[in-house]
Structure 1
Amino acid sequence: MRIDVLTLFPEMFEGVFSSSILGKARDKGIVSFNTVNFRDYANNKHNTVDDYPYGGGGGMVLKAEPIFSAVEDLPVIGGESEQPVKPRVILMCPQGEPYTQKKAEELASEKHLVFICGHYEGYDERIREYLVTDEISVGDYVLTGGELPAMVVIDSVTRLLPGVLGNEMSAVTDSFSTGLLEYPHYTRPVKFRDMEVPEILLSGHHENVNRWRRQQALLRTWQRRPDLLEGRELTKEEKAWLDEWKREGLE
């Protein structure tokens, strides 16, 4: 996968792209990261990329020209021997669709992602209408720019690529990957300050352990994110667990 980021602050990504899982993925050749300062594509002597909005109002609006030029100047994946790959051009903005694990899995199947990070009151609407393929929001709040949200999305997508994680099952059992929150984890020592690991995890009985984990994942989801269970088709056993917890008055 190739990931390009259009930003006015490419230095913000240097540590992120060279550290931890992302750095290892790049070193393995699984993904390549590239940052583009779209100020380099400004078509005026002062290199400005924003301007006052037509119709008046506060704040400045990101101009269309430098963004279009920067995207159009990106290398095309594929060539004479391969079908050219059309990139997914992603606009990070609070008006976008809420980001989910399902969206991360969708983007992880692509070959080329382009992220646009703004820093002003808004974008020229022509960028939304004629250039981007996706608008994504990481939450109902406003940040200074799109760099931090882009880092979040890039991290969540990269870890899903084959060969990135040491244990391929890690991504499969993560919270939201199954539609539920993840079950509790424990490690050594067995007893710490009178707090003990659940006995079932020490039993060595894999079937019972897996059943306990499914039960705990469902319980944690019901207690913390009941909205995730809306419309979910539950098994007979899962329905019985929920009925029992409701009778017990668990919150």
Structure 2
Amino acid sequence: MNWDCLIVDDEVELAKATCEYFEMFGLSCAVVTNSDDCVMFMENNQVKLILLDINLGNDSGFELCKALRKNTDVPILFISARQSDDDVLIALNIGGDDYIKKPYSLSVLLAKVKVIIKRYDGVGQKNRSSDEVSLQSDGPDRCGNLRIDKDAMKVYRNEEDVGFKTKEFKLFLYLYENKNRVIAKDELFAKIWGDAFFSDGTLNVHIRKIREKIEENPNQPQLIKTIWGIGYMFETQENQ
């Protein structure tokens, strides 16, 4: 069965209230309360977005996210009462797409979810075909010790696959194809995530992961430069 949203949260009343609110506005929504039920649900259903709590009784939302990321690129939004920056960074580093702190506004959460689902709606042949067209090339591009294979959605550093995830590759490619141009954060959110609802933390973590995979020294990046207060720029020589 196909669903718009799966809520994974052991706060049953809050999860059910959120689910009912979503359904009032036309979204199909399901609720599970633990990791095992989530894994089973995902094996038998298709979802467009997951809202995932960190504390799931005896289970960890962090560990569940890691397990899910082995098999799916479905957007995962963490929802948690935990407020520390460390928790936010962990969530984004392990594959979360955003972090929403409880208590949350149902109307704001709904708006965020609807925009993301619209972006990912029809993640079947229609969207895959669109991605394939946008990434098609006559052959691999080269930039220093990097080789970019758009058709395979891979980047090689010294001929070794750097292991980009889908979102990392798309962000890298957009920066690369607009090299030597300052790109505002809002433009990156719009082009890569499809909306402006994501936090700066989401973008910052993705940039850091990319730098760790392509830069000689990620702490002193030579390719992807931070333009403070604006955004980022892929800086390289014109003849590369």
- TMscore range, shorter length: 0.3 to 0.5
TM-score by length of 1: 0.31
Length-normalised TM-score, structure 2: 0.32
RCO comparison, higher one (Cα < 8 Å, 6+): 1
Higher fraction of strand: 2
Decide which structure has the larger Cα Rg and report it.
1
